[in-house]
Amino acid sequence: MPRPPDPAEDPMARISEPLTIDIPQELAFDQVADFTTTAVWDPGITAARRLDDGPLGVGSRFEVQLRQGPVSVPLVYEITTYDRPHRVVLETKGLPYQGVDDVTFEPVDGGTLVTWNAMFRLRGPGRLVDPALAVGFRRTATKAVAGLERFLRAQATS
């Protein structure tokens, strides 16, 4: 299992956002692990598609279009940990970004506790502005998690 970067070794913008949702753990996991759903719930993603076929699992790859002002930047994510229905980790290593999304799912009374841990940084010369990136990343991540919560709640009623 890959180890997320140690903040002392590799400073990145980081967030940890928990949300409790009234749907079964398996359903929450399946909706998040299929990263094509990000285009539905993350306002920073304009499009998302799967790049491979077959069952979802380690090695499954997705391309998302990240909105950066007036342009979209393509990012390729790969599932590096797939422990249904407990944990999924997706990583992106393209230019200009590197990121890790580590999402856990725990059953709780009446639903599931979803905890989204994300680490993101610029690569290359952009690393010089990583501290400034952290502020914008937290704001964007908070909106994304709010969108995820709305999306998962809608799954409970469909």
pLDDT in tens, the chain (158 residues): 445 544 444 556 778 889 999 999 999 999 999 999 999 999 989 999 999 999 999 999 999 998 877 888 899 999 999 999 999 999 998 767 788 999 999 999 989 999 999 888 776 655 545 455 555 556 777 888 899 999 999 988 87
pLDDT of residue 7: 41
Domain-embedded: residue 73: no
Domain-embedded: residue 131: yes
pLDDT of residue 72: 84
pLDDT of residue 112: 98
Q: How many domains does the chain have?
A: 1
pLDDT of residue 114: 97
β-pair type (71-83, 111-122): unpaired
Cβ-Cβ contacts under 8 Å for 39 (sequence gap 6 or more): 45, 46, 47, 48, 64, 65
Domain-embedded: residue 146: yes
Domain-embedded: residue 18: yes
pLDDT of residue 29: 98
pLDDT in tens, 66-100: 887 788 889 999 999 999 999 999 999 876 778 89
Q: Are 87 and 81 in contact (CB under 8 A)?
A: yes
The neighbouring-strand residues paired with 13 are 120
Domain-embedded: residue 74: no
Domain-embedded: residue 56: no
Please give the sequence-ordered ranges of beta strands (E in DSSP) within 69-141, or none if there are none: 71-83, 87-92, 97-108, 111-122
DSSP state of 43: T
pLDDT of residue 108: 97
pLDDT of residue 156: 81
Q: Are 49 and 63 in contact (CB under 8 A)?
A: yes
CATH number assigned to the domain comprising residue 86? 3.30.530.20
pTM of the shown model: 0.84
HSE, CB side, 13 Å, CA atoms: give it for residue 117. 11
Q: Which residue has the tokens 């393209």?
A: 94
Q: Which residue segment(s) compose the domain that 119 sits in?
A: 13-35+79-157
